[in-house]
């Protein structure tokens, strides 16, 4: 036992009236203190072990939580990328908005996940392929813009060099009023008045004539909006003038020569117009991709870009299409991201007809790289192209069509010649001779239709294909007897409510006179005998026509019958239609005649 002095008790004073009472704390025995010390030490050791175990468990849980959050963040980003790729297949007007919302949502989820774990986003989120393609296209357009500006400057057009160079760093300046007036003047061979004053001073104005001021329509134009053109006797006036300095005179003569070269038909003038059209196309496209939220795609791809394509492709020799210019146009069209926008540009070329319409078909058919081409090309575009090539009932010479057909790929040439052979625009012997001459000029062989083994189609697909062919007959304005025969043949092969419904829908899609004429031809076969199923089919059609669901079709039919009666009360079509309706249902015939204001024939 230690010899240390015992601890002194601490007195505590408590006031009680006028006396102070002092209490002394009891002193614990030494054995009790030693025994409690060992228990305390053991307890502390146990608590330390438990604390260490809790710290390790917290670290493990935090690691698992961070892994879960990181996995959630990565999986969500991958999901957004997949959804963005799927959204790219939607109609073009919805793609941009939906993808931007997906990207914004992905950024918000990533930020919240980072706040839960590390408090910050370590790496940039992956962008959808559509946005990556957009950024790549912008970079390519910017690089092509710089090259095109340099090429245009080397051609020395009557445009200010500084204004052209500013487009490289500020493409939006192309749409500024000053540049718009300058490019309008370039196309017309005119120069803004403000440029003449800035470069040559007011002494040079007598050499020009004002093309903007008009006493009636525009008597007081703004000074910066006035365009000037060189006077016809500029050379004589310049020789007689004594007020201009020699260097000013030389610069003015150089500008005059630039304007005259750009207005001509020389190779240099065409090269300037081609380069300027390319520059305008690139700037319009880049401006749209930079401002998609405010720019209307219809205005860009259906109005402005088609006009630039025509200016570029038709700037060559007249009445012909140049292969090199077509290649230039195709290289520009390839820079358009979405195929729908590319087709919108092509489909709006050549609205005025002529060579521009030929250009539209050539560009559209040159897009097809697969063999066989899509059904739309074979059933719609090529037949329309044939109607354009054969405007009359007389076959044109082969030498007139060969330069156009040479611009098409060889497989498309074969499809065009096959369609030309089967066309009803010209007589069969003339069509055969024209196809033979064209094949010899183009070096084509094997124009016979390829034999394809018949494939068993599902009933629904076979039905849809059969009625699509009948609709094509209606759209191509074939004879009503041929359309009625095709409908009867299909109903003979498959007579059920679904087929009758398809026949009715096909007839309602036609114009009302075709509807009436086909209805009149339905009972009669090619040999003049009555079709046994015609009455039942026509009764179904008549019941649908009188139903309130098809009130619009009924009004059209009644109005057409009324017009036929006013034009000729004894019209064969009118009398046949009313007779057939009375044959099927006298009540229906009475109602139609009453609504049309026609006396029912006896």
Mind listing the pLDDT tens digit for each residue in 141-171?
999 999 999 999 999 999 999 999 999 999 9
Query: Positive or negative, the Cα torsion across 153, 176, 204, 246?
Result: negative
Q: Is pLDDT above 80 for 575?
A: yes
DSSP string, 399-465: HHHHHHHTTS-HHHHHHHHHHHHT-SSS-HHHHHHHHHHHHHHHT----SPPP----PPPHHHHHHH
10 confidence band (pLDDT: 50, 70, 90): very low
Closest CA to 345 of 362, 364, 331, 318: 364
Mind listing the pLDDT tens digit for each residue in 179-204?
988 888 888 889 999 999 999 989 99
C-alpha to C-alpha distance for 436 and 444, rounded to whole angstroms: 9
> Which is more confident, 28 or 381?
381
* Average pLDDT for the chain: 82
Mind listing the pLDDT tens digit for each residue in 467-479?
888 888 888 888 8
SS3 530: strand
335: left (phi over 0), alpha (psi -120 to 50) or beta: alpha
Closest CA to 153 of 162, 161, 143: 161
226: left (phi over 0), alpha (psi -120 to 50) or beta: beta
Task: Tell me if 386 sits within 8 A of 423, measured CB to CB.
Answer: yes
Looking up tokens 């059969």, which residue turns up? 466
**pLDDT at residue 583, rounded to an integer:** 87
Mind listing the pLDDT tens digit for each residue in 279-294?
999 999 999 988 887 8
Q: Is pLDDT above 60 for 565?
A: yes
Q: Is pLDDT above 60 for 87?
A: no
How many Cβ atoms sit within 10 Å of the Cβ of residue 318? Answer: 7
Paired strand residues for 208: 230
Domain borders along the chain are: 31-116, 131-266, 368-446, 465-596
> Which is more confident, 38 or 244?
244
């Amino acid at each position: 036992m230690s010899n240390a002095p015992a601890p002194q008790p601490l007195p505590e004073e408590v006031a009680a009236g006028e006396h102070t009472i002092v209490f002394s704390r009891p002193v614990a025995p030494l054995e009790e203190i030693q025994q409690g010390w060992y228990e305390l030490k053991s307890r502390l050791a146990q608590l330390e072990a438990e604390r260490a175990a809790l710290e390790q468990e917290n670290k493990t849980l935090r690691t698992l939580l961070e892994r879960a959050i990181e996995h959630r963040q990565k999986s969500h980003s991958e999901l957004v990328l997949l959804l963005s790729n799927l959204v790219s297949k939607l109609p073009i007007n919805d793609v941009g908005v939906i993808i931007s919302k997906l990207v914004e949502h992905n950024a918000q989820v990533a930020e919240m996940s980072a706040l839960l774990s590390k408090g910050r986003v370590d790496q940039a989120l992956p962008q959808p392929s559509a946005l990556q393609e957009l950024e790549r296209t912008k970079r390519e357009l910017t690089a092509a813009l710089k090259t095109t500006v340099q090429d245009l400057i080397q051609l020395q057009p009557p445009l200010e060099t500084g204004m052209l160079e500013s487009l490289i760093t500020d493409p939006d300046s192309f749409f500024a009023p000053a540049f718009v007036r300058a490019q309008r003047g370039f196309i017309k061979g005119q120069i803004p008045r403000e440029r003449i004053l800035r470069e040559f001073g007011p002494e040079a104005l007598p050499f020009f004539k004002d093309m903007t001021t008009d006493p009636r329509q525009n008597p007081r134009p703004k000074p910066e909006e006035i365009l000037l053109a060189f006077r016809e006797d500029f050379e004589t006036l310049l020789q007689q003038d004594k007020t201009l300095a020699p260097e000013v005179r030389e610069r003015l003569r150089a500008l005059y020569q630039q304007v005259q070269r750009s207005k001509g038909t020389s190779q240099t003038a065409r090269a300037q117009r081609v380069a300027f059209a390319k520059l305008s196309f690139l700037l319009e496209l880049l401006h749209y991709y930079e401002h998609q939220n405010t720019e209307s795609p219809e205005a860009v791809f259906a109005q402005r870009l088609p006009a630039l394509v025509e200016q570029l492709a038709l700037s060559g020799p007249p009445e012909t299409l140049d292969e090199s210019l077509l290649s230039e146009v195709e290289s520009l069209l390839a820079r358009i991201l979405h195929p729908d926008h590319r087709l919108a540009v092509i489909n709006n070329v050549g609205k005025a007809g002529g060579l521009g319409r030929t250009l539209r078909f050539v560009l559209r058919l040159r897009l097809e790289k697969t063999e066989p081409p899509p059904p739309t090309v074979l059933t719609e575009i090529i037949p329309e192209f044939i109607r354009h090539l054969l405007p009359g009932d007389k076959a044109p010479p082969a030498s007139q069509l060969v330069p156009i057909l040479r611009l098409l790929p060889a497989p498309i040439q074969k499809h065009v010649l096959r369609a030309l052979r089967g066309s009803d625009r010209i007589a069969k012997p003339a069509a055969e001779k024209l196809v033979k001459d064209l094949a010899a000029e183009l070096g084509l062989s094997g124009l016979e239709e390829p034999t394809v083994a018949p494939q068993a189609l599902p009933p629904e697909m076979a039905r849809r294909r059969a009625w699509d062919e009948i609709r094509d007959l209606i759209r191509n304005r074939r004879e009503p007897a041929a359309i009625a025969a095709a409908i009867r043949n299909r109903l003979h092969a498959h007579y059920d409510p679904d087929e009758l419904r398809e026949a009715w829908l096909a007839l309602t899609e036609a114009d009302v006179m075709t509807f009436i004429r086909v209805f009149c031809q339905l009972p009669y076969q090619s040999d003049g005998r009555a079709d046994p199923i015609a009455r039942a089919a026509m009764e179904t059609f008549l019941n649908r026509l009188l139903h309130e669901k098809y009130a619009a079709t009924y009004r059209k039919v009644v109005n057409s019958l009324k017009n036929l009666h006013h034009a000729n009360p004894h019209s064969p079509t009118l009398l046949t239609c009313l007779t057939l309706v009375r044959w099927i249902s006298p009540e229906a015939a009475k109602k139609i005649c009453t609504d049309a204001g026609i006396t029912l024939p006896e």
